[in-house]
Structure 1
Amino acid sequence: MEKTKALPKRSEIPAEYKWRLEDMYPTDADWEQDVEKAKKLAEQIAAKKGTLSESGKQLLEVLTLQDEVLKTLDQVYVYARMRRDEDNANSTYQGLTDRATALSTKVYSAISYIQPEILAIPTETLESWLKQEPGLEHYRILLDEITRFKPHTLSTEEEALLANMSEVASAPSKIFGMLNNADLKFPMVTDENGEEVELTKGRYTQLMESKDRRVRKETFEALYSTYGKFRNTIAASLTSSIKTDVFYARTRKYKSSLHSALFSDNVDISVYDNLIATIHEHLPLMHRYIALRKKALGVDELHMYDLYVPIVPDVEMKIPYNQAVETIKEALRPLGEEYGRVLAEGFSQGWIDVYENEGKTSGAYSWGAYTSHPYVLMNYQDNVNNMFTLAHEMGHALHSYHSNRAQPYTYADYKIFVAEVASTLNEALLMDHLLKTTDDKLKRMYLINYYMEQFRGTVFRQTMFAEFEKIVHAKEEAGEPLTAEKLSEIYRELNVKYHGPDMVIDKEIELEWERIPHFYRHFYVYKYATGFSAATSLAKQILGEGQPAVERYLSFLSGGSSDYPLNLLKKAGVDMTSPEPIREALAVFKGLLEEMEQLLEV
């Protein structure tokens, strides 16, 4: 579909390239029935407020009702949103989405008393009910997870006070979001054709990939000169967010804000520290990559604005959707017949909405409800990046498929800590397949460059972000002031450390902390690096061991939240409390680096 052509209307897309939401609800009237069902269940649950401490039987009844109402709500909400995503201009599904959102508020309000009432029940009482009440044992993991938070849960009055502060606490993120997404205006820059274009965050990456170094430099300086004008405002916003993190951690009696952030996943701080320490150990590899980039680009000095331009000549790798499907199926053969069967079903049975159409939501995602098969939204373009995106989203989809079929609703959803493992593993197997079947030198160089950039962006860069977060939170906890100058100084030093002697650390880059929205969701980005490392390690095991590793991996996919993320990964063969998975991933990066060095010598 050419960019110059008008986008097709939804009705013009062939049926075989559309997802089948009719598999969830044959008609909107069926959806309406579940809306009414969810309302009634919410009313039933609300009526039982204050009764959970009466008996194990009463607790079991309420938890069973909670599962039923949330399962129904999920399907109602997902269907409405995905219908709207087909064409955001469709007023019918705008209306259904608004109603589903209102219903969600009603349901979560109705069940909000359940966790506080469970926390008020003495542990010994809960334990005796678990033994006495048939059926309650099913909820043991859920109850253990709730009671694990007891030491960090305050009195009812204090909890209510903190809940009422939530809107105030989210203010720094909201203020930054409004400034960053609505109020910041960037100047015009001159593109490769000599034409002036307005710089936007969306155009920034494209312009930074330009072969014309002048365009990259001008774009880089234009972006950061704009952020520089607001450095004190954004510093106040970010430091307020950090202060909020520290306040909540201290109020809830956590050892630190880092401990607070990792507690929900039951992840020890050593995992975070191991990641940073292991990346430090392997920074010479990153420095070699920077030196290689400098050599490949043929520049006397490598600047920060030279990081995104491809280091290989233009390579035409047009990959139509149907070809991508066949390539992915072939690449994922190492995962076995059962995985392949479900994957083929997903490609052929209405799981995927393939092409862009007028009004369709942009980007890509995998979603669905417990009672339906998974769905994948794409806006497929015929290129390598989109093929990898398709493999990525199908990794999420098959993770959900296996978890939903193996686990009851209570434990089917999986934690974000492990969410990126299944998707990234698919990408690793796809890359392995492409490199094994590609003899053309330029195409190999293109693929290796693509993969090395994944390592740079997801492992090294996200770990640098994680280290920045750790430093600035520790300084706040120690009572040290965090000014714009101090934040920039810390950020600059990290860039020097991570990029090495062959990189000119331009002054502008010390302001990059200003534009990272993830810093307002504290200690989150490290999961990208750990997930990528775990997936790379698992892919290596699957390719090396075969069936035993495949069986462990499929068991992991079926785990949902029936155990903590670290335990699920350990059963699959990856111990993230050890530095070994990160070292194994970086061994793959080293192999890519060595091959690219050889190819550039030839």
Structure 2
Amino acid sequence: MQPLGSDYVNTLRYGLTDGRWVDYGLNQNKRQGAYSNGVYPVGPYIFMSWNDTLPSMSTLAHEIGHSMHTHLSWAKQPYAHARYTLFAAEVASNFNQAMVRKSLFSTQSDTEFQVALIEEAMGNFHRYFFIMPTLARFEAEIHARVEAGRSLSAPDLNTLMADLLADGYGDGVQMDRERSGIMWGQFSTHLYSNFYAYQYATGISAAHQLLSAFDDDAEAARQRYLTFLGEGGRLDPLDALRNAGVDMEKPDAVEKTFEVLAGYVDRLEALLEERLASRPATS
């Protein structure tokens, strides 16, 4: 995270060590999932279960992104403006994940590690860039059904979820409709916050466009990004992101993120071809 400056890194390091921001230990009856939360001006704190894997590391990067967003918002804004929107929140979390991956890709050359890192990234993209928008379609449809006076039942919701997933996957994926159809039941927190799910897709998109700016002018990109984190809820999130260099009313950020995803595919193909080429010939 050094491109964000020593103040950011030192605060992050304090939170992960002496500050004890993270409830990371496995424990009996501890629920699954991860989140960052706090009450102004106490915290922030992270709930998760660390298991020493790449996905666990990525989860921690995601949640500490939230926590640093909270820390900087509270440090820069009065109580009335300290709470930022969910639309802004998922930018900070995805940005941290993307920056950590970028660092690991450049510093860890081991083929097996890079393949594992791509696998983690693909899982993250599948969740945020496919599953969450599909859940947003699901949520919009159930609201429309209720407004039309129609009833909802679990079998109907399962069928709707399976239909939407099948539409998204297309003919290239054979899907277990019974298992996949209950997916909506796994996202109770997200669906209880009205129209939250789609903001993961906008968040990961804005995050990757913000990160790409570090390749052009790292210092200017750093200043813009830290200013964005410190805005809290003072500005509409579209305006705050526009000031940081991302216009979410245009397709550029989404297209940039598809480019990143395509780059992972290309990198994986190259790594696998390299590994095949290095195998000894057999007679």
TM-score (norm 2): 0.82
Counterpart Cα distance in 2 of 1:514 and 1:367:
24
Q: Deviations over 1:358-407 (max 9, x none)?
A: 67965654334434463445543333233223322221222122111111
1:334 counterpart = 2:3: yes
Question: Where do 1:111-510 residues align within 5 Å?
Answer: 332-353=1-22, 356=25, 364-372=34-42, 374-377=44-47, 379-478=49-148, 487-509=157-179
Deviation, 1:491, is: 3.4
1:546 counterpart = 2:189: no
Highest RCO, 1 vs 2 (Cα 8 Å, sep ≥ 6):
2
Deviation, 1:413, is: 1.5
Letter in 2 for 1:576: M
Q: Deviations over 1:412-459 (max 9, x none)?
A: 121222112212211110011111112211111111011011001111
Counterpart Cα distance in 2 of 1:515 and 1:533:
26
Counterpart Cα distance in 2 of 1:514 and 1:378:
22
Identity, % of aligned positions: 37
Counterpart Cα distance in 2 of 1:492 and 1:357:
33
Deviation, 1:486, is: 5.7
Alpha-carbon distance change, 515 to 440 in structure 1, aligned in 2, over 3 angstroms: same
Question: Where do 1:578-593 residues align within 5 Å?
Answer: 578-593=250-265
TM-score (norm 1): 0.41
Counterpart Cα distance in 2 of 1:472 and 1:357:
36
1:560 counterpart = 2:229: no
Question: Where do 1:11-50 residues align within 5 Å?
Answer: none
Q: Deviations over 1:516-559 (max 9, x none)?
A: 43445442211122122222221222344311111111111110
Is the Cα contact below 8 Å between 1:489 and 1:510 reproduced in 2? no
Is the Cα contact below 8 Å between 1:394 and 1:423 reproduced in 2? yes
Letter in 2 for 1:346: G
Alpha-carbon distance change, 523 to 442 in structure 1, aligned in 2, over 3 angstroms: same
Is the Cα contact below 8 Å between 1:354 and 1:377 reproduced in 2? yes
Counterpart Cα distance in 2 of 1:345 and 1:484:
46
Is the Cα contact below 8 Å between 2:81 and 2:233 reproduced in 1? yes
Q: Deviations over 1:261-320 (max 9, x none)?
A: xxxxxxxxxxxxxxxxxxxxxxxxxxxxxxxxxxxxxxxxxxxxxxxxxxxxxxxxxxxx
Count residues with an aligned counterpart. 271
State the structure with more CA Rg: 1
Deviation, 1:494, is: 2.2
Aligned to 1:531: 203
Is the Cα contact below 8 Å between 2:21 and 2:43 reproduced in 1? no
Letter in 1 for 2:40: Y
Aligned to 1:571: 243
Indicate the SS of the match to 2:206.
Answer: helix
Q: Deviations over 1:193-231 (max 9, x none)?
A: xxxxxxxxxxxxxxxxxxxxxxxxxxxxxxxxxxxxxxx
Aligned to 2:281: none
Alpha-carbon distance change, 358 to 440 in structure 1, aligned in 2, over 3 angstroms: closer
Deviation, 1:600, is: 3.2
Is the Cα contact below 8 Å between 2:44 and 2:67 reproduced in 1? yes
Letter in 1 for 2:135: F
Counterpart Cα distance in 1 of 2:268 and 2:254:
21
Counterpart Cα distance in 2 of 1:500 and 1:448:
23
Counterpart Cα distance in 1 of 2:238 and 2:94:
17
Alpha-carbon distance change, 408 to 379 in structure 1, aligned in 2, over 3 angstroms: same
Counterpart Cα distance in 1 of 2:192 and 2:12:
36
Counterpart Cα distance in 2 of 1:449 and 1:402:
32
Pairwise CA RMSD of aligned residues?
A: 2.8
Counterpart Cα distance in 1 of 2:174 and 2:49:
37
Alpha-carbon distance change, 482 to 413 in structure 1, aligned in 2, over 3 angstroms: closer
Aligned to 2:272: 600
Indicate the SS of the match to 1:367.
Answer: strand
Deviation, 1:503, is: 1.1
Letter in 2 for 1:557: L
Is the Cα contact below 8 Å between 1:395 and 1:424 reproduced in 2? yes
Q: Deviations over 1:482-526 (max 9, x none)?
A: 676765554343223211222113342463256243445442211
Letter in 1 for 2:21: I
Letter in 1 for 2:92: A
Is the Cα contact below 8 Å between 1:556 and 1:569 reproduced in 2? yes
- In the alignment, structure 1 segments of 5+ residues that lack a partner are 1-331
Aligned to 2:280: none
Letter in 1 for 2:37: W
Counterpart Cα distance in 2 of 1:339 and 1:418:
18
Alpha-carbon distance change, 513 to 433 in structure 1, aligned in 2, over 3 angstroms: closer
Is the Cα contact below 8 Å between 1:407 and 1:559 reproduced in 2? yes
